[in-house]
Amino acid sequence: MKSLRDRVVLITGASSGIGEATALRLAEHGCRLALVARNQAALDQVARQCTQRGAQTIIVPTDVAESEQCRRAVEQTAAAFGKLDIVVNAAGLSMRAYFDGSDLAAMERVMRVNFFGTLYMTHFALPHVQRTKGSLVAVSSMTGKRATPAYALYGASKFAIHGLYEALHIELKHDGVHVGVVAPAFVDTPLRLRALGADGQPATERPPDQFRVWPVAKCVDCIIDVIVKRRREALLPWFAGPFLILDQILDRRLGDRILDRRFPPELERKRH
């Protein structure tokens, strides 16, 4: 495995879930870390664990939905470490609700955190990453590869990330910049438990598991693999790729039938 030692990595959503787990794993690889999220107390706890693993670490409390805060986070990282090699966009906000009847402000918030948060951080980090010929990595979702009922807005935000990073992969490869996306299925993180409902409030009950829920470590494995091998994309699980191809060949009828049974409208409306 290519060494990641002393690489400077900015991680959004680093206070919990995939972002936190990625930070801890990269700390073990000897990276220097800038941990970005809104919750300073949670960031402090993650930073202490990273430091215990030998990583030089700073925290930058940031709301990624605010462009100026993203600019500041990038500049503070570059000032602290003298460079920026890798950005992992792991901040996210989930929403599980049928589109009909969903709160517009909540849907806009999901887009701002998931898509614009990734866009802002990528925009401000790009000049630094171009200088180091480093990596831009976004954590997307299988709902950004295949539309899923009850996840229309969440999926739309992830589709947008795929569109942005697909174009950047082509635009930036001549500059030596690696652009990669990780698209996991359901992952066992607090994000699932805090998913917004149609009214824009966090759901009051744990959502049923329509499909297998993967351990967060498996998702982190994919992120590390994408960074080290400078891969364009990684799916979790791996067999989602062949299924998506088959679904496309069948004009998406297979996927529609499966998803319609797994996410019946009456079940989703009952939850709210």
Q: Which residues are catalytic?
A: 154
CB 77 within 8 A of CB 8: yes
Instruction: Give the residues across from 148 on adjacent strands.
Output: none
> What are the residues whose beta carbons fall under 8 Å from the beta carbon of 131, sequence distance 6 or more?
83
What DSSP line would sit under 26-83, residue for residue? HHHTT-EEEEEES-HHHHHHHHHHHHHTT--EEEEE--TTSHHHHHHHHHHHHHHHS-
- Radius of gyration of the chain, Cα coordinates, nearest whole angstrom: 18
> What are the residues whose beta carbons fall under 8 Å from the beta carbon of 256, sequence distance 6 or more?
none
Q: Which of 191, 203, 213 is nearest to 113 (CA)?
A: 191
What DSSP line would sit under 70-131, residue for residue? HHHHHHHHHHHHS---EEEE-----B-B-STT--HHHHHHHHIIIIIHHHHHHHHHHHHHHH
What is the token pair recorded at 162?
């795929």
